[in-house]
Amino acid sequence: MKRRLAFIITILVVGLWGCADRYFPLSREKSELENLLPPSSFSPGWRREKKPSSYNPGNLYEYIDGAAELYLDYGFKKLVTALYLYEGKKDYSLIIDVYDMGSELNAFGIHSSYRGSEAQLLEIGSEAYLTDYTLAFYKGKYFVYLQAGNPSGENKTSMKKAAQIVAERIPGQAEQPRELSYLPGENLLKNTSIYVPKGLLGYHFLPGGLQAEYQLGKEKILLFVGLSPSSREAREAFQGYVEQIKKAGKNLAFQTGLAEEAFFADDSYYGKVLVARHKRFLVGVVNLQNYKEGESLLKATLKKIEIREE
């Protein structure tokens, strides 16, 4: 009886492992990133071509030469990529890239560098967008980028199905980085929020942080939130901006009552700017036409920062 029971258990185990792609979607033998890829036959007719390839910061340029530096600036850790082909249709192919960017903010950042303001958003992961040939989203610390070899509706359907599988395999909820909560929602223009890893506004003396566009009346203005590691570094960045204004011989007026320190000035590249420092945060509004509207947006941002940082 014991032998018969052992035989039955063995048969069941072998049978289940034979259907591993279906019943055991994650494998202990694969890397963390490989486990996020869809199974070889994720949809009828599709098959994965060869073993997935992996890249690290030292050899990423071999895969995306010319763009590797951008990913490294955003804290890239590792990439796994796989090619899927459709039987009988040579022009039907799908490349799936899964990037470990080290943090949710970095994953959002690299995603935001690709996403256009007119992107068609999908409910896959966080802020998924779809074009004729690509689908991209982020979730947690991962940025996922899919490229189709054909823009047909059938290929797009398969691309969305594959993306959904990856999104479901990534643990946790699809949420935005907490830093985005610093940005006021009122008058915020859709799909304009981005994260810059260093040098906001293209100024080397400014830290990395958030940028977003707002519609105030007939004018579009740019808000930035510098995310310095410490108050000391934020003060140095603030002083760097002051020196930039002075060097250009532009109007500079220090303001009181807004934050620990603030100024209103003419910037050679960005017109009228209002900039304030609160602890480790540097908040600024540029391309201003109306000081009062800029002041209102800046105060609303400082208030949200104080609430989130309590």
Do 240 and 277 fall within a single domain? yes
Q: How far apart are CA 196 and CA 207, in angstroms?
A: 9
Do 121 and 154 fall within a single domain? yes
Q: Are 174 and 125 in contact (CB under 8 A)?
A: yes
Q: How far apart are CA 38 and CA 82, in angstroms?
A: 9
Instruction: Please state the pTM of the whole predicted model.
Output: 0.86
> Is beta strand 252-255 parallel, antiparallel or unpaired with respect to 219-227?
unpaired
Do 209 and 281 fall within a single domain? yes
Q: Look at residues 141, 169, 197 and tell me which one is the last residue of a structural domain.
A: 169
Domain that holds residue 59: 19-169
Per-residue pLDDT tens digits of the chain, which is 310 residues long: 333 333 333 333 333 333 333 333 444 446 889 999 999 888 888 999 889 999 999 999 999 988 999 999 999 999 999 999 988 777 788 999 999 999 999 999 999 998 877 777 899 999 999 988 999 999 999 999 999 988 777 778 999 999 999 999 999 999 999 999 999 999 999 999 999 999 999 999 999 999 999 998 888 999 999 999 999 999 999 999 999 999 987 899 999 999 999 999 999 999 999 999 999 999 999 999 888 889 999 999 999 998 877 5
**In-domain check, residue 2:** no
Question: Residue 98's domain is classified under what CATH number?
Answer: 3.40.1000.70
Question: Residue 243's domain is classified under what CATH number?
Answer: 3.40.1000.20
Pick from 291, 186, 280, 274: which is nearest to 236 by CA?
280
CA 84 to chain centroid, in Å, comes to: 25
Q: Look at residues 138, 169, 200 and tell me which one is the last residue of a structural domain.
A: 169
Q: How far apart are CA 224 and CA 213, in angstroms?
A: 9
Do 134 and 76 fall within a single domain? yes
